[in-house]
């Protein structure tokens, strides 16, 4: 079975549109502030999706552009300034940023009350200790997909491929509370196939096209692809689409987790705004 992320996102969109319409009618406006590097086409592509979703539900998006040569300290000052603007209900930093930037230091300028992406250390700390009322968007998206398709994690062997800030780390933190047996694979892991072949569920977020081959997956496994990259001008995921033939459930790229993640970002924004 193939996950229809667009259909799930559409349900969330309809619900958000209704709630935000009521808020707007009562005089309360919701605004998402986005800080981005100017002139980056990849960033602009991701941002366009968020802008379109926001417009469809009645949320304003205010974009703040910074030059690629900005220093870490100057960027942090800029973020702190934007966070303290009362009209900005949520603030996100549209990644990627230049490698010279200490991005975690910058992200930590966003207070949890205005952090729908949940990438600051304080937000992640609250999430890890079960004190957050929202989940990181990708975690919320995977959780939603599992609920929609009746995937039970308790007692299952779950393999997380990648340990990055956006997918691997928050997904692993969440899984620890789901009573599953978890293995995390990174570039230093030997005998990767030996681990993935035992997995009931594989969640990958590396960003390397076709990393997970059909011969690395057992029959009936649940495959969740959260890795996005471009190859020959096409958006591709970490999991070879041929592996879907062996899967009981497959969330592909594009059209699987991605649309739901964007929807959950705005669901978080609404939650933080009321």
Instruction: Say if residue 38 is in the same domain as residue 81.
Output: yes
Tens place of pLDDT for every residue, the chain, 274 residues?
999 999 999 999 999 999 999 999 899 999 999 999 877 676 787 899 999 999 999 999 999 999 999 999 999 999 999 999 999 999 999 988 888 999 999 999 999 999 999 999 999 999 999 999 999 999 999 999 999 999 999 999 999 999 988 899 999 999 988 889 999 999 889 999 999 999 999 999 999 999 999 999 999 999 999 998 876 677 889 999 999 899 999 999 999 999 999 999 999 999 999 8
264 assigned to some structural domain? no
35 assigned to some structural domain? yes
Give the end of a domain, one of 52, 79, 112.
112
Query: Which stretches of the chain are DSSP H helices?
Result: 5-25, 41-57, 72-83, 103-107, 121-128, 137-149, 168-175, 192-196, 257-273
Domain of 45 in residue numbering reads as 27-112
Strand partners, 37: 66
33 assigned to some structural domain? yes
pTM of the model: 0.94
Instruction: Say if residue 93 is in the same domain as residue 153.
Output: no
CATH of the domain at 55: 3.40.50.10860
């Amino acid at each position: 079975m193939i996950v229809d992320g667009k259909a799930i996102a559409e349900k969330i969109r309809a619900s958000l549109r209704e709630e935000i319409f009521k808020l707007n009618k009562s005089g309360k406006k919701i605004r998402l502030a986005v800080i981005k590097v100017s002139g980056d086409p990849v960033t602009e592509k991701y941002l366009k999706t968020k802008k379109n979703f926001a417009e469809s539900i009645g949320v304003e998006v205010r974009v703040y552009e910074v030059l690629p040569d900005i220093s870490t300290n100057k960027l942090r000052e800029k973020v702190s300034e934007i966070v303290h603007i009362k009209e900005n209900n949520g603030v996100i930093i549209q990644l990627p940023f230049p490698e010279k930037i200490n991005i975690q230091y910058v992200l930590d300028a966003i207070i949890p009350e205005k952090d729908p992406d949940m990438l600051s250390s304080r937000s992640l700390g609250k999430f890890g200790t079960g004190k957050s009322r929202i989940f990181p968007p990708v975690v919320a998206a995977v959780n939603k997909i599992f609920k929609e398709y009746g995937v039970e994690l308790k007692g299952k062997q779950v393999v997380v491929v990648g340990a990055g800030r956006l997918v691997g780390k928050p997904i692993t933190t969440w899984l620890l509370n789901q009573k599953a047996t978890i293995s995390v694979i990174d570039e230093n892991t030997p005998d990767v196939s030996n681990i993935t072949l035992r997995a009931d569920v594989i969640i990958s977020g590396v960003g390397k096209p076709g990393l997970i081959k059909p011969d690395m997956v057992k029959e009936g496994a649940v495959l969740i692809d959260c890795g996005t990259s471009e190859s020959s001008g096409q958006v591709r995921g970490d999991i070879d689409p041929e592996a879907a033939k062996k899967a009981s459930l497959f969330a592909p790229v594009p059209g699987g987790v991605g649309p739901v993640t964007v929807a959950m970002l705005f669901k978080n924004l609404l939650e933080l705004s009321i």
